[in-house]
A and B are shown apart, each in its own frame.
Chain A
Amino acid sequence: MLRFIVRRLLSSIPVLFGILVVTFVIARVIPGDPCQAALQERANPTACAQFNERYGFDDPILVQLGTYVGDVFTGDLGESVRLRRPVTDLLTERLPVTLQLSAAALLIAVVVGVPLGVLAGSRRNSKTDVATIVGANVGVSIPVFVLGLILQYVFARELNDTPLGLPASGQLTAGTIPEPFYEAWGLRENTVLEFLANIDLLNAVLIWRWDIFVDALQHLILPAVALATIPMAVIARMTRSSLLDVLGLDYVRTARAKGLRERVVIVRHALRNSLLPVVTVMGLSLGTLIGGAILTETIFNLTGVGKTLFDAITGRDYFVVQGFTLAVAVAFVLINLVTDIVYAYLDPEVRVG
């Protein structure tokens, strides 16, 4: 198993390197000048000369690439030209926001999607089945921003004064400044601890602040639900069709022939096998969620990966585009690895190593 993991990690290095080069090139072929974008009215030839020198944009492109690759290997992802902050700082601050949101969304998608798929698959062509499939199709089709705005309107505005009211933004209540857990524990600050402390729910648990935990949870519900619909629908459909495939197999017939109750047949025998493709879908969904939550983040005013990437692209903030894309790529690689491991656990026929 360990050999498998190491081999997979090593083989992902060329992939990541390729992504690094491609984003580097793409960032630079987008028309527009980072100096113009950053300085705007203040951009003039003198200021831009200084600016380009400061960030090395006046070097030949291959030199820039070489410098950048060298820096990345030492853990330096460069500096944002718009925010004047190291990209690694931005990642420690913003990746956790998106991770927490994506994880919550995936959790909702799985917890709701899998049972729905099983329900539909086990009662094929029943009313439940049709309703689930129609619901899933609607779920896939409804744009996130429409759903997000509807949720906001209903829960933050119309139901605001009722117990069902939920906040309109994904951020903690204004003025709440949770103490980072490492400070509470008297630990020395470092990037990893900071990263973990920026996951609001986790930090609230670690500093044992129930009120902040509840606040974070309340603010997470609407964006997570909005973000969860599409993967939920995909997972429900996938579970259903996969379950139907498995239910037609010989061993299920054998199980039924033994006189087992249908419930046992489905839950104990069929479900485990039918979840295999679902695991793949979950892995893919999580990757997409991390890189693509821009609409949700915009509607719920969360400064996460998607929003940062969008602003960086429009602002020609090369190092941020490169650094965040690379981070998303790394996340993808890791998620794929985990997916494969889970796969191996679920399916004895898949042998790793």
Chain B
Amino acid sequence: MRRPQRAWLAAVVAASLVAAACSGDDDDSGGGGGGAGGDFEPLAYDESAACGTEEYTGNLAAIEAVDELTVRFTLCEPDVAFPSKVAFSALGIHPSEHLDETDGSPIDNPIGTGPYRLEAWEQGNQIVLTRNEDYWGEPAAVPTLVFRWSQEPAQRLVELESGSVDGIDNVGSEDFEAVESNSDLQLIEREPLNVFYLGFNVDVEDPPLNDETLRQAVGYAIDRERIVENFYPEGSQVADQFLPPGIPGYEEGAESYTYDPDRARQLLAEAGYEDGVDLGPLSYRNESRPYLPQPAQVASDIRDQLAQVGIRVQLDEQESGAFIDNSNTGNLGLHLLGWNADFPDPTNFWDFHFGPGATPQFGTGFEDLHEVLAEAASTTDEETRNELYAQANDLLMEHAQALPIAYGGSAVAFRADVEGAHASPLSNERFASMSVERDQIVFMQSGEPSGLYCADETDGEALRVCEQINESLLAYEVGGVEVEPALAAELPEPNEDLTEWTFRLREGVTFHDGTPLDANDVVESYRVQWDAADPRHTGRDGTFTYFEALMGGFLNPPAEPVGG
């Protein structure tokens, strides 16, 4: 069913002075915004005038269907991580007609291009997906994929052991051995995409956190191995740099602080504190996170380790919300915090924490580090970037603004006969590439998705299911984080200053409902998220958190409640 021409669309388009827009609407009411016909009328939204205005914090300036299979994105500011963001599942492509029909919230009936299509979602019970026989790539090996859930690790394990499910997420930390010793099962550790660190606000003078030598002394006083061994599940690793190993730009064998109490005492003496020093409160929040499963225990262990070399701190447990606020406003001196990757690009770690635009969490920061990070963010050449991030590692170690301590691990488990079983660091396991001698594969995760329109979901339980159904322009490689083409036929070509990215779509891709994919579907899938005033900007609760995080902000950000 077609919707009549929408007044809002005409208004928006007219305002943005896009030539093809009016006839584009005609096409919408006639041919359906897509199709293989020769009457394709490209949509375009040019909002570059909004760049730099006070109201608009976003970085997206324009989206344009250049022709039926070409989409061009224009950015306000260069963004080397743009492909890595575009690959994220919150930016999956939906048929524009379906977005219209569902008023922008295909929560329980998503239509995508992925290797599996949604067959049934029995709420509270299971989600059943069936193979997309018309998939553009290699079709899924197993005809049916079922998702179930239980929040109890023991329940998931017994279901796996009894064979009623083929794979489980998040093996309980006490169950690793039970899985490994069972020849019917395979344990697969998930590469950590997070980092736990001890941070300093280097502007604080009293206690003397502004003393670099003193901060370095702290670096040598901490026994990271002991912390990881005692307080982290298997699969966790000692951190030797701020980037976790799964993120591009990770430097193999980076130089880092080692546990050396004598060196710590020596540095303390050099800084003029032979008799020890009081560094004030060591702040943390008692919220278990993958990067820090046992905050209180780790905090007191660090306190005791520091005391060994004569550095005194007092534990300061804060309420979670207040703690984050204090961190963002630079109100914490010595503190324990961590970071989970939003998207697998070094900028999400480096620039966010130590770039010139970072919050005052670590103080004003250091010019040399700013420069290296800015240079790394303005090039796509992998080798150059890696060299620059290696330099950044050295600078961070020298300045000791933050001391990386651990990467928190987790694991999945599968029946031994599941071939191609893998764990993705981003938790988006790709079941189409797994095979088993049964006609279905059942995966039990920790929770039920809240919705299957992942533009407006943040929960990994939802994202994993969406990723089997909907695809983005690009994708992360199976079991990894490298970006590869998906609905785009090849990786995009940026212009020289990285503000224009052009994607060429694959030919002959159809959605699960049979409609062909075209550039307008891409434009509209972004548009409904981008423009908060679009009547289809509804989703499940209308927050579109990931779009905001990835693209910086919305057009027409809501001052008042968003209406449906």
Contacts and interface: CB of A to CB of B under 8 A. Distances in A.
A275 B234 CA distance: 58
Nearest to B126: A174
Contacts of B80: none
A177 interface: yes
Nearest to A219: B164
Given A153-B158, A174-B440, A169 B164 contact: yes
A94 B458 CA distance: 26
Interface string B416-448: 000000000000000000000000101000000
B407 to A, nearest CB: 21
A268 interface: no
A171 B158 contact: no
Given A49-B561, A53-B561, A174 B162 contact: no
A42 B543 contact: yes
Most chain B CB inside 10 Å of its own CB: which residue of A49, A167, A171? A171
Contacts of A256: none
A303 B124 contact: yes
A53 to B, nearest CB: 6
A153 B157 CA distance: 11
B562 A50 contact: yes
Given A85-B123, A177-B128, A168 B561 contact: no
A53 B66 CA distance: 42
Contact of A94 (B107, B124, B152, B562): B124
Contacts, number: 87
A83 B458 CA distance: 15
A42 B112 CA distance: 27
A157 B541 contact: no
B558 interface: yes
A39 interface: yes
A174 B541 CA distance: 30
Interface string B85-100: 0000000000000000
B155 A299 contact: yes
Contacts of A46: 558
Interface stretch (B12-20, B142-150, B213-221, B259-267): B142-150
B155 A301 contact: yes
B120 interface: yes
Contact of A157 (B124, B161, B540): B161
B162 A160 contact: yes
B146 A175 contact: yes
Contact of A168 (B119, B164, B450, B541): B164
B163 interface: yes
A172 B154 CA distance: 19
A152 interface: yes
Interface string A172-210: 111101000000000000000000000000000000000
Most chain A CB inside 10 Å of its own CB: which residue of B125, B450, B542? B125
A261 interface: no
A177 B124 contact: no
A94 B123 CA distance: 10
Contacts of B440: 174-175
Interface string A31-66: 000000001011000110111011000000000000
The 4 closest A-B pairs by CB, nearest first: A303-B124, A50-B561, A174-B442, A156-B162
9 contacts: A41-B458, A84-B450, A168-B155, A168-B158, A168-B164, A172-B125, A174-B148, A175-B442, A299-B152
